[in-house]
Chains A and B, each alone.
Chain A
Amino acid sequence: MSLYRRFRLPVRLWRELEREAQAELEHHVAAARDAHLKEGKSLAEADALAASALGDRVRLGRQLAFFDWVRERRAQFMNSASHLAHDVGFALRMARRRPGTTSLLILTLAIGVGVATTFAGAIDALLLRPLPITAPDAVVSLHRLSRDMGDLDDVAPATIRDWRDRSVSFEAIAGAEPHSLAYDDGSGPRAIGTWRVTTGFFDILRIRPIGGRLLEARDYTDESEPVVVISHRFWSSRFGGNPGIVGTHIPLGDDRVPHRVIGILPVDFPYLEARDLYVPLRLAGRYQHNRSSNYFRGYGRLAAGVSVEAAELDLRAVAAATAQEFPESDAGWSVAVRPLRSSLSESIRPGLLLLMLASGMILSIAVINAASLMLAEATRRARELAVRAVLGAGARRIVRQLATEAAVLAVAAGFAGFGVAVLGVSAFRHLAPEGLPRLAELRVDFRLGLLGASITALVALGVALPPATRAFGTDLHSALKPGGRSGLESPGGSRLRFALVATQVALSVLLLSGAGLLVRSWATLLATDQGYRPTGVVAAEVHVWNVAQREDEQRAFAEGIRRHLGTSPDLEVAVGTMLPLTSPIGDTDAEVGLPGDAARTPVLGLVAGPGFFEVLSIPVKEGEGISERQHEGSEPAVVINEALARTIWPGGNALGAALLVSFDGKETLRRVIGIVGDVRYASLETAAEPTAYLPFAQSPTGSVFVLGRHRGPQAPAIDALLDGIPVIAPGTLPDRVVRMEEQLTAAARGRRFALSLLGTFAVVAAILTGVGLYGLMSQAVQSRTHELGVRLAVGAWPGRLRAMVLRQVGILVGVGAISGMLAFAGLHGLMRGLVYGVSTLDGTTLVAVALSVALLALVSTWRPIEAATRVDPASALRSE
């Protein structure tokens, strides 16, 4: 088979084959016709006979060409397949000859691939993948938006009704109210987290239950029997995953009303905070006009063809109308509509993308190491390659060989890397902040495998490319001369290696800088005074409206609790409506102003009973805290925090002043009886807001936290708390139990996660770069053995040689580090969301990074530098 034919494109080949076949058959017909003519037949007869001899000539020609084509293609394939088999065999033999280098290479590549795959998978599952519901882009979350502060808030039930009745952009709108229902499985009643959802809620999401059905319109009528949809978690933990539970009744609520279980939700239901029970709620009766209880979550499904922006405008028009009709509740508020998918992931997106970038950098560093090593390998085999090239293998063949080696390496790394990714995925799920939406969707599946394979392919390309491009520059003749250099050892080749390692240094600098910033942020955060001490503080949320509707009853409850539980020496108890890092009970929006002044300042308002500050260890800076001295009959008092004092009375003199406090619909003139330290209620990072504490006795409420600080072990303290409450308020079950230390840990979890990840990346990057530096300098020194030998022979001090090599290292690392710093200066904005208390261009961090890189360079190149000074001049000169 001709060489020419071997490389022809299939289409050209086909056309040529067809032409040939036709020509052959043409001749046959002509020859047959001539023969007939010679026998004496007429021209017409001869033509006819000849033509009929072959039958359908065109078809026959095509058949001939087709089989020829198939045979040819098969031969081509077998040829390249045998080449491939040979190349792979060769690659494996080479790998076996250097097991140490090869396994190191595969290991570093596997780590890079595994980490990159893990993060690609995380981004895919958490950010990119559409929600597993029908037409996911049409599902939106609806929020109240305060005009000035720009916070996304929950809404009141009447607002949900307004939206539903007055908007035109939605197929369905529904609300979900957080609630709890008592459930007794035999071991005593416990409050179970519940969502009360309005009609159409499940229609919005259009998910399929794994058993039974979901709430429908028929469950929302006057005659409907009480029904409940349960979560997957509730189903598997309480009923052992028994599908027979559907249709049976479970008693829910304080009155143990039997609710029929009509359906079970699937495992992946991340759209709301996890609560176990879903019951219908009709926006009728007292809900119809309630515009002030803003704790409903709003959801909607956009009508066909309606965009998010259009829907937002629509609802804003509704909001403007209601602001006019109901100014006390709705003035000053607007509406925000957000796609559900992004609102779920908004908070974590910047961090996740950053980590993805970081893992990409690690992968690049690993790939560069592999490429450098391959370059070195190719250099070592330069002569052999040159001989092969001369014998006709051609540059193409060499490139194919190198590419195959790189591919074999990459495939091995890909498999190992997938193993790393499996570990990575489970580690990610374990360490990620709890309640991260859609975390359950991150799992080892086909998609992850696909991601891993794509990354592996990129790696193969990255590893094969540098040696391949150098191989093309092979100057054959000079390579064959004694002492000759091939293209791989030429200045171009070593320049390439230098550039690669400098890139590694730059990437390491980037990662180290990022990690350094996070470390400083963490340290700063730890050193920040939160304003309270969480050690030993636990609390239970209770709602005692059923036994204490009147204010005096509520006061009695608060006093009773303190008396009953406070007698225990290990437990100090108080009541309050808010705790740090915990979602508050009721409204916390308050306003204060000076009497005679129309200006009002929005502040954080909460109600606290005697002992509140003591339990949380909030220091009283001036005056007194809240105690029994504030009661119903005494002058209305308020305790403020330092931030509030500074805001209203910048010159001091807050203590004893009169302050108008507007809270919970009432405005009263109060006297400032004390100033306490600032407390960060909202988050660890946000500075404390101006806060006003109203004495419980003067503003009682039936929904409070009962908090206590215990000195002994935690569990008995919590039990005492939970047992004591029903004693004072019979039939009351605590809604949730909060452990302050856990709240702190949970709040810091995201930051700690990012820190440990980026820190690990930076360390791994530094190690890999160190390895790269070592490899490069070793090879550089080795290739200059001759030159170094000469220098030593003519009397150079070893010190000078050391300085020479050191200067090379210095230039390399310097260029790399400076490029890295410049790149960091360009990218530092990405860190903005993650740093705390330090600027993204923190000088200390950058100096520390520079020093670390210098240290790294010295440590990794020490041995090669020393080797340079120990070259034996005699043998070096002879080695050529």
Chain B
Amino acid sequence: MPGGSLAIIPGTLDVLILRAVAGTPRHGYGIVEFLREASNGTLTIVEGALYQALHRLEHQGYLTGSWGASENNRRAKYYGITSSGRRHLASEAVAWQRYSLAMNAVLGFA
């Protein structure tokens, strides 16, 4: 995609994370990789913010964390989505779509 990478818009990190682990549990680095690939390199995350968000989402009950062995046989904490996490993801995704459509509409007219 043309242009450099973009920073995450505040407020959207949560939904991105939830999407990242919706299919399969991932650890922190894995989430970074997924988002970079899925956005074709556009989105880069500040790692500090990522982990803060992960812990917060776990406390809120949207994610569950469990320790396991990573690909290279190291001890890593994997985050998976919960059912309330799925519900949250769904509603936030819908909201985001409506918002972005609205943005496009406004910008389109201007």
Which A positions have Cβ atoms within 8 angstroms of B?
Answer: 20-21, 23-25, 27-28, 30-32, 34-35, 53-55, 60, 63-64, 67-68, 71
- 19 A–B pairs (Cβ distance < 8 Å), ordered by A: A23-B75, A23-B77, A25-B51, A27-B29, A27-B70, A27-B75, A27-B77, A28-B47, A31-B27, A31-B30, A31-B72, A35-B33, A53-B47, A54-B47, A55-B48, A60-B47, A60-B51, A63-B52, A71-B59
Q: Determine which of A20, A34, A63 lies in contact with B77 in the assembled complex, contact meaning CB atoms within 8 Å.
A: A20
Given contacts A28-B51, A54-B47, 19 further A-B contacts (CB under 8 A): A21-B51, A24-B51, A24-B76, A27-B70, A27-B75, A28-B29, A31-B30, A31-B72, A31-B74, A32-B29, A34-B72, A35-B29, A54-B48, A55-B48, A63-B48, A63-B52, A64-B51, A64-B55, A67-B56
When C-beta atoms are compared, the residue in chain A nearest to B30 turns out to be: A31
- 8 closest Cβ contacts across the A-B interface? A31-B29, A27-B76, A28-B29, A71-B59, A24-B77, A28-B28, A54-B47, A60-B48
Complex contact A68–B55 (CB within 8 A): yes
Residues of A close to B47: CB separation below 8 A: 28, 53-55, 60
Please measure, in the bound complex, the distance between the C-alpha atom of A244 and the C-alpha atom of B72, giving whole angstroms: 93
Residues of B close to A20: CB separation below 8 A: 77
Please measure, in the bound complex, the distance between the C-alpha atom of A441 and the C-alpha atom of B86, giving whole angstroms: 69
Residues of B close to A34: CB separation below 8 A: 72
Residues of A close to B74: CB separation below 8 A: 27, 30-31
Please measure, in the bound complex, the distance between the C-alpha atom of A31 and the C-alpha atom of B27, giving whole angstroms: 10
Residues of A close to B76: CB separation below 8 A: 24, 27, 31
Please measure, in the bound complex, the distance between the C-alpha atom of A405 and the C-alpha atom of B43, giving whole angstroms: 58
Please measure, in the bound complex, the distance between the C-alpha atom of A24 and the C-alpha atom of B78, giving whole angstroms: 9
Complex contact B27–A27 (CB within 8 A): yes
Residues of A close to B29: CB separation below 8 A: 27-28, 31-32, 35
Residues of B close to A25: CB separation below 8 A: 51
Residues of B close to A32: CB separation below 8 A: 29
**Contact A67 to B72, CB < 8 A, known contacts A28-B47, A32-B29:** no
Residues of A close to B77: CB separation below 8 A: 20, 23-24, 27
Tell me which residues from 1 to 60 in chain B have a Cβ below 8 Å from any Cβ of chain A. Answer: 27-30, 33, 47-48, 51-52, 55-56, 59
B66 shortest CB reach to chain A, Å: 12
Complex contact A64–B52 (CB within 8 A): yes
When C-beta atoms are compared, the residue in chain A nearest to B61 turns out to be: A1
Please measure, in the bound complex, the distance between the C-alpha atom of A771 and the C-alpha atom of B39, giving whole angstroms: 81
**Contact A68 to B59, CB < 8 A, known contacts A31-B70, A34-B72:** yes
Please measure, in the bound complex, the distance between the C-alpha atom of A805 and the C-alpha atom of B55, giving whole angstroms: 68
A75 shortest CB reach to chain B, Å: 8
Please measure, in the bound complex, the distance between the C-alpha atom of A196 and the C-alpha atom of B77, giving whole angstroms: 88
Please measure, in the bound complex, the distance between the C-alpha atom of A373 and the C-alpha atom of B31, giving whole angstroms: 63
Complex contact B48–A24 (CB within 8 A): no
Please measure, in the bound complex, the distance between the C-alpha atom of A28 and the C-alpha atom of B55, giving whole angstroms: 15
Residues of B close to A71: CB separation below 8 A: 56, 59
Complex contact B52–A67 (CB within 8 A): yes
Q: How large is the interface on B (under 10, 10 to 19, 20 to 34, 35 or more residues)?
A: 10 to 19
A43 shortest CB reach to chain B, Å: 15
Residues of B close to A54: CB separation below 8 A: 47-48
Residues of A close to B71: CB separation below 8 A: 31
Please measure, in the bound complex, the distance between the C-alpha atom of A60 and the C-alpha atom of B46, giving whole angstroms: 12
Tell me which residues from 57 to 92 in chain B have a Cβ below 8 Å from any Cβ of chain A. Answer: 59, 70-72, 74-77
When C-beta atoms are compared, the residue in chain B nearest to A30 turns out to be: B74
A22 shortest CB reach to chain B, Å: 11
When C-beta atoms are compared, the residue in chain B nearest to A1 turns out to be: B59
B67 shortest CB reach to chain A, Å: 8
Please measure, in the bound complex, the distance between the C-alpha atom of A34 and the C-alpha atom of B59, giving whole angstroms: 30
Please measure, in the bound complex, the distance between the C-alpha atom of A53 and the C-alpha atom of B59, giving whole angstroms: 25
Please measure, in the bound complex, the distance between the C-alpha atom of A24 and the C-alpha atom of B79, giving whole angstroms: 11
Please measure, in the bound complex, the distance between the C-alpha atom of A60 and the C-alpha atom of B74, giving whole angstroms: 20
Please measure, in the bound complex, the distance between the C-alpha atom of A101 and the C-alpha atom of B72, giving whole angstroms: 71
When C-beta atoms are compared, the residue in chain A nearest to B47 turns out to be: A54
Complex contact B55–A30 (CB within 8 A): no
Please measure, in the bound complex, the distance between the C-alpha atom of A27 and the C-alpha atom of B30, giving whole angstroms: 11
Please measure, in the bound complex, the distance between the C-alpha atom of A71 and the C-alpha atom of B60, giving whole angstroms: 10
Residues of B close to A67: CB separation below 8 A: 52, 55-56
Please measure, in the bound complex, the distance between the C-alpha atom of A204 and the C-alpha atom of B28, giving whole angstroms: 76
Residues of A close to B51: CB separation below 8 A: 21, 24-25, 28, 60, 64
Complex contact B72–A30 (CB within 8 A): yes
Residues of A close to B59: CB separation below 8 A: 68, 71
Residues of A close to B28: CB separation below 8 A: 24, 27-28
Residues of B close to A31: CB separation below 8 A: 27, 29-30, 70-72, 74, 76
Please measure, in the bound complex, the distance between the C-alpha atom of A24 and the C-alpha atom of B28, giving whole angstroms: 8
Please measure, in the bound complex, the distance between the C-alpha atom of A23 and the C-alpha atom of B27, giving whole angstroms: 12
When C-beta atoms are compared, the residue in chain B nearest to A70 turns out to be: B59
Please measure, in the bound complex, the distance between the C-alpha atom of A370 and the C-alpha atom of B44, giving whole angstroms: 68
Please measure, in the bound complex, the distance between the C-alpha atom of A328 and the C-alpha atom of B76, giving whole angstroms: 102
A835 shortest CB reach to chain B, Å: 71
Please measure, in the bound complex, the distance between the C-alpha atom of A383 and the C-alpha atom of B29, giving whole angstroms: 56
Please measure, in the bound complex, the distance between the C-alpha atom of A23 and the C-alpha atom of B52, giving whole angstroms: 15
Residues of B close to A35: CB separation below 8 A: 29, 33
Residues of B close to A23: CB separation below 8 A: 75, 77
A754 shortest CB reach to chain B, Å: 65
When C-beta atoms are compared, the residue in chain A nearest to B56 turns out to be: A67
Please measure, in the bound complex, the distance between the C-alpha atom of A64 and the C-alpha atom of B54, giving whole angstroms: 10
Please measure, in the bound complex, the distance between the C-alpha atom of A490 and the C-alpha atom of B85, giving whole angstroms: 53
Interface centre among A24, A54, A63 (most CB of B within 10 A): A24
Please measure, in the bound complex, the distance between the C-alpha atom of A71 and the C-alpha atom of B75, giving whole angstroms: 24
A361 shortest CB reach to chain B, Å: 54
Please measure, in the bound complex, the distance between the C-alpha atom of A68 and the C-alpha atom of B47, giving whole angstroms: 17
Please measure, in the bound complex, the distance between the C-alpha atom of A68 and the C-alpha atom of B52, giving whole angstroms: 9
Please measure, in the bound complex, the distance between the C-alpha atom of A27 and the C-alpha atom of B67, giving whole angstroms: 11
Residues of B close to A21: CB separation below 8 A: 51
Please measure, in the bound complex, the distance between the C-alpha atom of A309 and the C-alpha atom of B50, giving whole angstroms: 74
When C-beta atoms are compared, the residue in chain B nearest to A65 turns out to be: B55
Please measure, in the bound complex, the distance between the C-alpha atom of A25 and the C-alpha atom of B72, giving whole angstroms: 15
When C-beta atoms are compared, the residue in chain B nearest to A59 turns out to be: B48
Please measure, in the bound complex, the distance between the C-alpha atom of A34 and the C-alpha atom of B47, giving whole angstroms: 17
When C-beta atoms are compared, the residue in chain A nearest to B77 turns out to be: A24
Please measure, in the bound complex, the distance between the C-alpha atom of A27 and the C-alpha atom of B76, giving whole angstroms: 6
When C-beta atoms are compared, the residue in chain A nearest to B76 turns out to be: A27
Please measure, in the bound complex, the distance between the C-alpha atom of A88 and the C-alpha atom of B85, giving whole angstroms: 35
Please measure, in the bound complex, the distance between the C-alpha atom of A318 and the C-alpha atom of B86, giving whole angstroms: 96
A270 shortest CB reach to chain B, Å: 62
Please measure, in the bound complex, the distance between the C-alpha atom of A55 and the C-alpha atom of B30, giving whole angstroms: 18
Please measure, in the bound complex, the distance between the C-alpha atom of A67 and the C-alpha atom of B74, giving whole angstroms: 25
Please measure, in the bound complex, the distance between the C-alpha atom of A370 and the C-alpha atom of B28, giving whole angstroms: 59
B81 shortest CB reach to chain A, Å: 18
A866 shortest CB reach to chain B, Å: 64
Please measure, in the bound complex, the distance between the C-alpha atom of A24 and the C-alpha atom of B66, giving whole angstroms: 11
B37 shortest CB reach to chain A, Å: 12
A105 shortest CB reach to chain B, Å: 44
Please measure, in the bound complex, the distance between the C-alpha atom of A23 and the C-alpha atom of B51, giving whole angstroms: 12
When C-beta atoms are compared, the residue in chain A nearest to B60 turns out to be: A71
A306 shortest CB reach to chain B, Å: 65
Please measure, in the bound complex, the distance between the C-alpha atom of A227 and the C-alpha atom of B65, giving whole angstroms: 87
Residues of B close to A53: CB separation below 8 A: 47
When C-beta atoms are compared, the residue in chain B nearest to A71 turns out to be: B59
Residues of B close to A68: CB separation below 8 A: 55, 59
Please measure, in the bound complex, the distance between the C-alpha atom of A71 and the C-alpha atom of B48, giving whole angstroms: 18
A63 shortest CB reach to chain B, Å: 7
Please measure, in the bound complex, the distance between the C-alpha atom of A421 and the C-alpha atom of B28, giving whole angstroms: 64
Please measure, in the bound complex, the distance between the C-alpha atom of A214 and the C-alpha atom of B86, giving whole angstroms: 83
A753 shortest CB reach to chain B, Å: 65
B72 shortest CB reach to chain A, Å: 6
Residues of A close to B55: CB separation below 8 A: 64, 67-68
